Amino acid sequence: MKNMTVVFSHNIDSTEKQGYAHGGVDPEYTEALKIGEWLGGAAVSDDTVISPREVLVGFVDRPETRRLLADIDRNQYGIARIGDKVVVCGHCVASVVMAAEYLLTLDPNDIADGSRAIMTYDRWITDIPEFDGKYIGMTDCCYDNVELVYSSDEAGYERYLDLLEREGYTKTFENNICSNRFSRWTKGEAFLSVSYSPAEALVRLISGSLEKNNFFDILDRQTGGERIADVTVTQMLLDYLGGSFGMCYIITLEDGSFVIIDGGQVKVMNGYPKTYDYVRLYYLLKELNKRPDGQIVIKAWFMTHEHADHFNVFYWFCREYGDKVTIKAYCSCSCSDTVSYNSKNPDYSTTRGRLAKACEWAGGFDLVTMQSGDDFTLGGVRFEILYTVDDLFPERLHYFNDCSFVCKMTYGGQSTMWLGDICAAPSELLCKRFTSEYLRSDIVQMAHHGLNGAHEELYDAIGAKVLFWSLWDTLAQKQLADDADISLEHIRVARKLLLVDDPPECFYHKRCNYTLSLPYSGAEGEMTKR
């Protein structure tokens, strides 16, 4: 294998970017560089230039790559020596990386012409009925789920549902939002989620194991019961002076249980906490609790994404108070390591074991995987999931904030839009998929704490008159100063929302908690010192 050129696809990003994980380059390029070093300093090039002897990494434009891909299943990856070409590939980025890492364990001198090695990643469930449409691509998701994307129309979606019934799948859920179609199916110990987006003309299939994924339609979570509490939403203050930030919202349900959204930061030094918002949360829950038995029951803990300023309070809360409360479900849509590999500021609480440790401390809870189109009711409050990171593919995740899921909450005829930390790409997708009439909400949680987040077009569509602005008020007010940089979109959004004759009511983080009774009629926020 001497004098070979290592080749990657010209469609991948090989430009290094400051502040991004792994320099911001795509994983295939990183693997190509490793192989170049493994070969003793071989040249590395994209596939627009053809060399006589090549190692082909990933989805390169060569007949040898297409030949090997045609011979392997979607849960397989492999390497093959075909004449003067060595092919290293799989059907998604994750399997390309597996193939490349396997190649690096070999001796280059042992890879003879005609040799081939094909391996199977048996945690992926890809043995599903074939969709009749133009195949776009495949990506891996968290919990060993996989997503297949096809170009199709609604008729293709409906034909596939008919095929699933004939193949013995059982439908557990179906929904239609603004002509976007969603359904979930099970067969044995596997699930298959199927969705269709007319704006994108795409059908998405997500398959996985029910052992690793729960869904509210399959869990059959009890949502009824006696009404013992008024429905409220509480914005918990955070210790900004101590260095904490983030967001934590507590929704009190009719049955007296809670839904918590995110949690906030905990500053840690030498393994010990230096801020204590997880303690504040516990005592605030005790104060808000209306259950006659005094038990604190968290029916669902929504984690929009795993950045420390959202996850850490949850983690330390479970460590300190997991044996004093009941957490029924942890609800998220995490992404795989491969998907977040080169994104800006990624975090890995799920895949690095922190979530598993929190679950252990809390005595166990269901891990609910959020997916777009999900529609469920908890304690009289309705929740609809409008976006998850799985909706980005075939685009890649560039900002880790964009793996936040987006949720619309409705109670008493009033809606609240929870945006997490989304930025540009999800904003554009939401406006493309859903009508302004559907997106219209009374209350909105400002994306990314009102910083560089959602687009102006999305806020225009939502048109909320109440803002949850999870940022210290002194920092937020800087966006309204005369010298604020109006070339930044979040500055323009802030000024457009607040520097008007009839501005929305805005709840910043101050030295108090705010509790709003739902439906909220304005100017009734109760300030609770804690």
Say if residues 126 and 102 touch (Cβ distance below 8 Å). Answer: no
Return d(Cα 280, Cα 443) in angstroms, integer.
Answer: 25
Longest distance between any two alpha carbons in the chain, whole Å? 78
Positions of E strands within 220-327: 232-235, 248-252, 258-262, 268-269, 272-273, 297-302, 326-327
pLDDT beyond 90 at 124: yes
Tell me what pLDDT residue 501 has: 85
* CATH number, domain 134-213: 3.30.160
* Whether the predicted pLDDT of 191 surpasses 50: yes
Tokens 């929305």 correspond to: 504
Q: Tell me, what's the pLDDT at 530?
A: 47
- DSSP for 423-443? -HHHHHHHHHHS-HHHH--SE
**Which CATH code fits 240-528?**
3.60.15.10
Mean pLDDT in residue range 179-192? 98
For residue 352, pLDDT over 60 is answered with yes
User: Which top CATH class is 5-120?
Assistant: alpha beta
Domain pair 5-120 / 134-213, same fold? no
Question: Residue 434: pLDDT band by 50, 70, 90 thresholds?
Answer: very high
Residue 528 has pLDDT above 60, yes or no: no
Tens of pLDDT along 463-513? 999 999 999 888 888 898 989 998 888 899 999 898 888 899 999 998 899
pLDDT tops 50 at residue 225 = yes
Q: What would you report as the CA-atom Rg of the chain, rounded to the nearest whole angstrom? A: 25
Rounded to an integer, the average pLDDT of 386-402 is: 97
Digit-coded pLDDT (tens) for 264-277: 999 988 888 999 99
Overall average pLDDT of the 360-365 stretch: 97
What residue ranges do the domains of the chain occupy? 5-120, 134-213, 240-528
pLDDT of residue 510: 87
> CB neighbours of 432 closer than 8 A, spacing ≥ 6?
199, 200
